[in-house]
Amino acid sequence: MSQHPGLPVVDRPASPSRPVARSGRRPLAAALLALATGGCATAPGPASVLASGQAPGVSPATVAPEAAPAAVPCPSGVPADALCLRGRDSAGAHYLMAVPARWSGVLVVHAHGGPDLGEPRASRADADLQRWAITVAEGHAWAGSVFRQGGFAVTTAAEDTERVRRLFLQHVGQPRRTLLHGQSWGAMVATRAAERFPQSWDGMLLTSGVVAGPAAYDFRIDLRAVYQHLCGNHPRPDEPAYALSIGLPSGATLGAADLASRIDDCLGVRKPAAQRSAEQARRLKTVVDVVRIPEASILGHLQWGTYTLRDVALRSGGGPFGNVGVRYSGSSDDASLNAAVPRVAADPAAAARFAADTDHRGRFPMPVLSTHGVGDSTVFVEGQHTLRERMVAAGRGDGLVQTFVDSAEHSYLGDAHYPPLFEALLGWVEDGRKPSPASIANRCRALRPQAAGECRFLPDYQAAPLATRIPVR
């Protein structure tokens, strides 16, 4: 497998030589903190690793040296007795780690959603750790990279994800198991990391994930085209015309507030329904019915189809998305709509570059567990059908278990759902006990008998093909 010249692929010791699971959880945080802050306390295993800067079983000649992180106060919401470590890696990516006082020996490496545009900020990791504090509360260590560059750069983010794993090995210790967790766009990063560094991960959890490759984003060019047909103000007639597939010309100064104002002028999205004009209501209904997104998500998707799409086009050398040949339906007059809607062709070279950076083929040699809210309007649940198709085609269909939740949430599905997912994935990894959607749903209720209603897994749900939601092109 190809690799980045500055980031050599390092195989971990094979399973028989890895540390075995121990009963109970290891009280490491106090000793780690003493060492990190120059104290005299000592502790075996990971504590001595923090002092020496080298992980057991990993040759210094094969891993680029990384500066040790600094012990810092943990963000609010993280268990008070956890140790948090912050640093910036050799590629310039900020990162944050958290080790619970009684560590299970499991490391969860988190690939965050987004992507965020602009200069990466260290505070992004704080927000991610706060959101996923349940991981540390369950006794697992957590590590997350902010990624070295903002914008839609998936392969480099996968490399940064691998690098933060190695940093943990060098300066904290070798976990008995390492899980890769991709959330939203971070699932793109995680699947890329899983195929690029397959020996690094024991299992992968994908939550609310973009798992259908570039096709998951086709609807946003549909939205731009339908919106422009109805509204004609993005761009306006007196502004330079451009192919909608580039999002926005690189020199354009259209700000987010101006864009939101244009959208509201045309569709009334920021007004109560009773205050919209009849024409605004008609246009809004057409967008909702044709693009198949709720009205509350239109502003966010148009922002993505403007600013993030511009970033994608600049990185790809052209617009990778198009709508030539797409047949739109759901309006009051589909024939007129299809005759008048703007058409733009995808740039084949740009599409190839975008796919090379972002796409996966389902070749994951580790157990994969996924979950998704069935009403998610940010990342459509139908993308899960593509994930299964690809893993089956790669001969890895038995390595996937998919769960679904009765929820329209995207960013976080509630504390009840993640502990049984982590537990099920670990049981599969360590003991070969492949879970089922029903067993995970039952375990969720068993873990919270007094609040079983918070467990909203749908064991019998199956995702429909993506083509039932986004027209094929």
Distance between CA atoms of 85 and 66, rounded to whole angstroms? Answer: 14
Distance between CA atoms of 154 and 451, rounded to whole angstroms? Answer: 38
Helix, strand, coil content of the chain in percent (nearest 5): 45, 10, 45
DSSP H helical ranges for 103-197? 123-131, 133-137, 154-171, 185-196
One-letter identity of residue 447:
L
- 203 backbone dihedrals φ, ψ, rounded to 5°: -160, 160
Distance between CA atoms of 145 and 181, rounded to whole angstroms? Answer: 12
DSSP H helical ranges for 288-380? 298-303, 309-316, 334-340, 348-358
Distance between CA atoms of 254 and 306, rounded to whole angstroms? Answer: 10
Distances (CA, A) of 342 to 228, 231, 255, 322, 345: 7, 12, 23, 10, 10
Distance between CA atoms of 404 and 407, rounded to whole angstroms? Answer: 9
One-letter identity of residue 48:
S
What's the token pair of residue 24? Answer: 């109970």
Which helix or strand (DSSP H or E) is residue 420 part of? helix 418-431
Q: Is residue 404 a contact partner of residue 438, using CB atoms and an 8 Å limit? A: no
Domain locations along the chain: 24-214+359-468, 216-355
**Pairing status of strand 203-207 against strand 177-183:** parallel
**Pairing status of strand 102-103 against strand 94-99:** unpaired
Task: Write down the pLDDT at residue 49.
Answer: 32
One-letter identity of residue 324:
V
Distances (CA, A) of 43 to 24, 40, 59, 267: 17, 10, 22, 63
**Pairing status of strand 177-183 against strand 400-405:** unpaired
For tokens 């058409």, name the residue: 343
Distance between CA atoms of 182 and 167, rounded to whole angstroms? Answer: 19
Task: Write down the pLDDT at residue 28.
Answer: 52
Name, in order, each residue with C-beta under 8 angstroms of 463's C-beta and a sequence gap of 6 or more: 372, 381, 382, 383, 384, 385, 388, 402, 404
Nearest C-alpha neighbor of 143 from the set 184, 97, 187: 97
Please calculate the CA angle 283-288-292 and round it to the nearest 5 degrees: 150
State the DSSP code for 243.
-
pLDDT tens for the chain, 473 residues long, are 333 333 333 333 333 233 333 334 445 544 454 444 433 333 333 333 333 333 333 333 345 679 999 999 999 999 999 999 999 999 999 999 999 999 999 999 999 999 999 999 999 999 999 999 999 999 999 999 999 999 999 999 999 999 999 999 999 999 999 999 999 999 999 999 999 999 999 999 999 999 999 999 999 999 999 999 999 999 999 999 999 999 999 889 999 999 999 999 999 999 999 999 999 999 999 999 999 999 999 999 999 999 999 999 999 999 999 999 999 999 999 999 999 999 999 999 999 999 999 999 999 999 999 999 999 999 999 999 999 999 999 999 999 999 999 999 999 999 999 999 999 999 999 999 999 999 999 999 999 999 999 999 999 999 999 999 999 99
- In order, the DSSP letters of 244-263 are GGGSS-TT----HHHHHHHH
CATH of domain 24-214+359-468: 3.40.50.1820
